[in-house]
Structure 1
Amino acid sequence: MNGSTTSRRAMISAVLAAVTVTATGCGSPQAAGNGSGSSAPIDVGVVYAQSGPLAGYGAQYAEGFKAGLAYATGGTGKIGERPVSVTWTDDAGDPVKAVSAAKDLIGKGYKVLAGSTSSGVAVQVAPLAAQNKVLFVSGPAATDAVTGANKYTFRSGRQSYQDVLAARAFLGTGKKVLVFAPDSAFGKSNVEAVKKVLGGAGATVTDLAVPATATDFTPFANQVKAAAPDLVFVAWAGTTAAAMWRALDQQGVLASSKVVTGLDLRASWPGFGAGGAKLNLLAHYFDGATDNAAYQALKAAVPGGRTDLFHPDGFAAAQMIVHALQSSPDDTDKMVAALEGFSFDSVKGKLTVRAEDHALLQPMFQARLTGTGDALSATSTGTITAQDAAPPVTTMKG
């Protein structure tokens, strides 16, 4: 371990001691104490999936957030003399629980909320931000609906449209595209994005909406095979992914069509099964995709030193929130103004908050997998610049 890594570990340790982190169950968040004193804590509420099917994503986001908070505050955990006090609340990926927790935090005086592992959660929490004039920085939720949702809503991760722009290069001369996705907010967002991007480029796009609760994917795989598309865009996440990929491979879809999908968290890679090497992968992020100061700080803070898919989303969220709070710890409109147009260096590289609709402009990656089982590794085969991966501007809704 070199000296710079050791110092970064020391900085992370220092901030964890300096920052008040309160772990709570949904419905019992820490009482607010923003106050007006120069040393009064600044309360930040993080409502995310500690449990449920997206808990793995939530854990990465939380680890990234803590590391990003340390990095952005220079190891102090403070904005000026005021410590940042973070309340962690579990929504289990349930929009009803998330809304209840967000309302509880807002009612206790919180002016800053973050989190939203799930797209279904994000689209329900975003209106609360506008209604109550609180800053909301959504996390891994990929639905395009978060962008332009309202003046007070931002995002720290990518959106479905950026995934599709990364996939566009894989189409080649093909013209027949099928989108295989769950019948959910996440799935519908991907379908809409593929129709806009690839359909707009002259492809004929159809979709197969699979129940999000499905466990037997053979009938759906057979439908894909029968359709004989040139390209299959698969948008799937969660614990049933392994069964889905096994069905697509066993029914010959991976051999008969070019299949493009997003690279999920590392633990899911063995779930691609024998067909993993046949896939064309678009990547929001994977360990080793970048190497910069933010990445090194994150790597030093993450258990085992291996970063993963949604660590950068948490890291960037903390950077954005610190920047907003530095502009004014108590005036939400000033926080919003500070974030609009904000460019900063983060784990994925240079990120920019587009002022017009709060899209987060960022590079995207293309990759292939090699190896088998737990020895699988991802290798970058291309980078799509933030400009080339920029979604169209959305009219701000409020």
Structure 2
Amino acid sequence: MKKRFVSSVLALIAVLCLGVTVHAAEKKPIVIGHIHSMSGALSMYGISSEAGGSIAIEEINAAGGILGRPLKMITRDDKANPEVGLREAKDLVISENADFLTGTVSSAVGMAVSSFAKKEKIIFMPSNAQSSRMTEDEFHPYIFRIATNSVVYWGYAPAIALANTKKVKKIISLGWEYETGKTALKQFKEKYLEMVPDAQIIDELWAPLGTTDYTAYINKIKNSGADAFYLAAVYGGGELAFTKQADSFGLYDQMLAIQPCAGDIESWYTVTKGGPFPKAALATTRYPFWAIDNPRSKVFVEKYKNKVGQYPSYGAMNHYNTIYALKAGIEKAGAVDTEKIIKALEGLTLDTLIGKVQIRAYDHQAMMPTWYGTMDYAEGLPFPHVVKVTPIGEEGYHTIEQIKKLRESK
């Protein structure tokens, strides 16, 4: 009788536990609509971003989710087209009931999604798009960026790095002729000429967005008499094409290159010694995992390598951090309530893969650092990367006073 009673109790406990497990699994998921370039020339950014976010979601769900609810990510391809990105954002919210929106690498797509998020009062967290306008003069309460922006990455950090190392006097620039390229050069000049007042940009060269043949521009740079050239917001396949051609013309042996995007590994992880790369270029990087002594980062790198088969980029880190920022905001708010989460995130200090980072309340911009150094090979990695990195933090961003003036001038 006693054995039968014990067996009955154990069976009841098992049923109750099973019921709890089933109930938890049946809880409505928190849906993250992820919009990114998953095909085409910029797919390297979309694929890495999605993978980084997936790792964060797997970790969070394995630990019980957020407020007992699982996370679910639905990814859509924006094809680097603002109209497509906007269409996908609308469908994610209307058809998939997305609670949050993340993603984009194209700033034009990011701006379109940001405008939609403002109208629909849904939080949007861009994971790659760098346009500072989203958090500065085009700011609204529903935008948060747990990533760098164009000020620190394209403009101020390269300028500070150059002023702290070389202090060259004559610079020629080449950029893609679009909003981010123009803004990048403007912000670089703003900071560098403040720090080295007797320097000058002797010429500005602009190539159509997506240019692949840079021969004419490289010849102009070589014959300009400049001490250095600055590459303004040319990235992805465009940067690869430029670098191969510049290397074949001996441009990197003739003058210093200031090539911000070169420091991120998306373009170079397949390059081995002997292949063309931005030799000795002064570059910035947003995730020098090889130089970061953080246990969480080391675990993330291994998980990413096992999942994707290569090293993680900054986009992977950004989206991983973004998912955990949402977790922190929701848990602090105590509910999946947009307005409460906004208040919870403002001024919050996050524990990221690169350490403690605060979200500035005024512009919802996380003070993510950027590192600089020169491009070379070093023991430990088979591809060229930034070596002997130096961090640039909040000093690389516009101050609140600067942003106030930008908003007032609209």
Question: Match of 2:343, SS?
Answer: helix
- Verify the 8 A CA contact 1:354 1:360 in the aligned structure 2: yes
Which residue in 2 is equivalent to 1:134?
Answer: 122
Which residue in 2 is equivalent to 1:169?
Answer: 161
Equivalent-residue separation in structure 1 for 2:128 and 2:29 (angstroms): 27
Question: Match of 1:322, SS?
Answer: helix
Q: Please tell me the residue identity of whatever aligns with 1:319.
A: Y
- Verify the 8 A CA contact 2:237 2:267 in the aligned structure 1: no
Q: Please tell me the residue identity of whatever aligns with 1:91.
A: D
**Alpha-carbon offset, residue 390 of structure 1:** 3.0
Equivalent-residue separation in structure 1 for 2:30 and 2:236 (angstroms): 34
Q: Please tell me the residue identity of whatever aligns with 1:186.
A: T
CA RMSD of aligned residues (A): 2.6
Equivalent-residue separation in structure 2 for 1:66 and 1:54 (angstroms): 19
Equivalent-residue separation in structure 2 for 1:349 and 1:382 (angstroms): 16
Which residue in 2 is equivalent to 1:90?
Answer: 77
**Alpha-carbon offset, residue 371 of structure 1:** 6.6
Equivalent-residue separation in structure 2 for 1:138 and 1:274 (angstroms): 31
Equivalent-residue separation in structure 2 for 1:268 and 1:384 (angstroms): 21
Change (3 A) 1:79 1:365: same
Q: Please tell me the residue identity of whatever aligns with 2:215.
A: T
Write out per-residue CA displacement over residues 112-143 of structure 1, whole angstroms, 9 at most, x where no aligned residue. Answer: 11011222211111111111110000011112
Change (3 A) 1:129 1:77: farther
- Verify the 8 A CA contact 2:125 2:146 in the aligned structure 1: yes
Which residue in 2 is equivalent to 1:150?
Answer: 140
Equivalent-residue separation in structure 1 for 2:299 and 2:382 (angstroms): 25
Write out per-residue CA displacement over residues 228-265 of structure 1, whole angstroms, 9 at most, x where no aligned residue. Answer: 32332213212232321132233443233211113132
Percent of aligned positions that are identical: 22
Which residue in 2 is equivalent to 1:188?
Answer: 182
Structure 1 length as normaliser, TM-score?
Answer: 0.82
Higher-Rg member (1/2):
2
Question: Match of 1:282, SS?
Answer: strand
**Alpha-carbon offset, residue 93 of structure 1:** 1.5
Which residue in 1 is equivalent to 2:33?
Answer: 45
296-305 or 257-266, which moves further after superposition?
Answer: 296-305
Instruction: For structure 2, list consecutive stretches of 5 or more residues without a partner in the other structure.
Output: 1-25
Q: Please tell me the residue identity of whatever aligns with 1:316.
A: N
Change (3 A) 1:104 1:77: farther
| Aligned pair partner of 1:341 in 342, 347, 352 | 347
2:364 maps to 1:358? yes
Equivalent-residue separation in structure 2 for 1:115 and 1:77 (angstroms): 24
- Verify the 8 A CA contact 2:131 2:150 in the aligned structure 1: yes
Q: Please tell me the residue identity of whatever aligns with 1:338.
A: A
Which residue in 1 is equivalent to 2:200?
Answer: 204
| Aligned pair partner of 2:385 in 374, 378, 383 | 378
The aligned runs of 1:1-398 (5 Å cut-off) are 39-71=27-59, 73=60, 75-76=62-63, 78-108=65-95, 109-148=97-136, 149-163=139-153, 164-167=155-158, 168-171=160-163, 172-201=166-195, 202=197, 203-205=199-201, 206-234=203-231, 235-261=233-259, 262=261, 263-268=263-268, 270=271, 273-274=275-276, 276-302=278-304, 303=306, 304=309, 306-326=311-331, 327-367=333-373, 368-370=375-377, 375-393=382-400, 394-395=403-404
310-319 or 140-149, which moves further after superposition?
Answer: 140-149
**Alpha-carbon offset, residue 180 of structure 1:** 1.7
Write out per-residue CA displacement over residues 300-325 of structure 1, whole angstroms, 9 at most, x where no aligned residue. Answer: 32134732232211111111111222
Question: Match of 2:144, SS?
Answer: strand
- Verify the 8 A CA contact 1:228 1:257 in the aligned structure 2: no
Change (3 A) 1:225 1:392: farther
**Alpha-carbon offset, residue 75 of structure 1:** 3.0
Equivalent-residue separation in structure 1 for 2:76 and 2:238 (angstroms): 25
Question: Match of 1:278, SS?
Answer: coil
Equivalent-residue separation in structure 2 for 1:353 and 1:313 (angstroms): 14
Q: How many residues end up aligned between the 2 structures?
A: 359
Change (3 A) 1:334 1:193: same
Equivalent-residue separation in structure 2 for 1:41 and 1:74 (angstroms): 10
- Verify the 8 A CA contact 1:287 1:306 in the aligned structure 2: no
Instruction: For structure 1, list consecutive stretches of 5 or more residues without a partner in the other structure.
Output: 1-37
362-371 or 210-219, which moves further after superposition?
Answer: 362-371
Equivalent-residue separation in structure 2 for 1:241 and 1:122 (angstroms): 21
- Verify the 8 A CA contact 2:212 2:241 in the aligned structure 1: yes
Q: Please tell me the residue identity of whatever aligns with 1:284.
A: R
- Verify the 8 A CA contact 2:34 2:102 in the aligned structure 1: yes
Equivalent-residue separation in structure 2 for 1:161 and 1:257 (angstroms): 25
